Amino acid sequence: MTQNIVEIDNLSFGYKNRTLHKGISMSFPRGKVVAIMGGSGSGKTTLLRLIGGQFKPSSGEVRVDGKVVHKQSREGLYQLRRKMGMLFQQGALFTDLSVYDNVAFPMRELTDLPEIMIKDLVLMKLNAVGLRGASQLMPTELSGGMGRRVALARAIALDPDIMMYDEPFAGLDPISMAVICDLIRTLNDALGTTSIVVTHDVEETFSFADYIYFVADGVVAAEGTPDDLRQSTMPFIHQFVHGEKDGPVPFHYAAVDYKQDLLG
């Protein structure tokens, strides 16, 4: 068994004429919480899609449990995905299913467990996120934070080896944000999972992550523990960590001269 359950090796990827990643390498050790941070449009979520096999790299490779993701057959890819849980940015709950049925869904689809056992497991997962009492509610009856927690219960339904979180704090109030932070850390340690968290929320992420990668201009601009990065003197990291508007990250997206644009 390798120490790193996910490895990204010299990976490049882009859309049409726009290159997102230029030779990125990252390692995700078993049992750790690793964050991928960077500005909007830096390709953080795309890295999760590459890990999950939704996209294929232009060069380089992603390995999950020692297997190169983009070289897997359809069946092989499905087997790798069985090791993964995903918390989507907006929760992505099935709106026509109750909270209980949302969490039960992967168990019913991917296992042959009897309903009596599924019931026990669903209530266990909902209890872990503090929402066992909401099992019969519909998604429209949930607050944003509650919906995110139900989605988390569904994501851990089959005890995945890898949990991926896409902007888990987006749109949450401070209390819900604190709850999700605590759940990510607690569930990671309780389940022995490897957690990969894509986010741009500095304060929250620095409170629970073991290691952080900063992505900018298609490369890993910096990496280290939260303490390492807090003390960094690199202009980009200092600007990002302290939320400064002036620095190496520009406000304007690259464009031709404004006057030229207006006059054609």
pLDDT on residue 19: 82
Residue 126 included in any domain: no
Distance CA 103, CA 106 (A): 7
| 117 pLDDT more than 90 | yes
pLDDT on residue 251: 45
Residue 121 included in any domain: no
| Domain membership of residue 246 as a residue range | 4-83+160-263
Domain CATH code at residue 193? 3.40.50.300
Residue 116 included in any domain: no
pLDDT, one tens digit per residue, over 126-156 is 988 888 898 999 999 988 888 888 998 898 8
Residue 113 included in any domain: no
Residue 117 included in any domain: no
Number of domains in the chain: 1
Q: What is the mean pLDDT of residues 184-195?
A: 88
- Provide the whole-model pTM: 0.83
Residue 255 included in any domain: yes
Q: What is the mean pLDDT of residues 224-239?
A: 76
Residue 153 included in any domain: no
Rg (C-alpha) for the chain, rounded Å, is 20
**Which range has the worst mean pLDDT, 53-57, 78-82, 169-173?**
169-173
Residue 215 included in any domain: yes
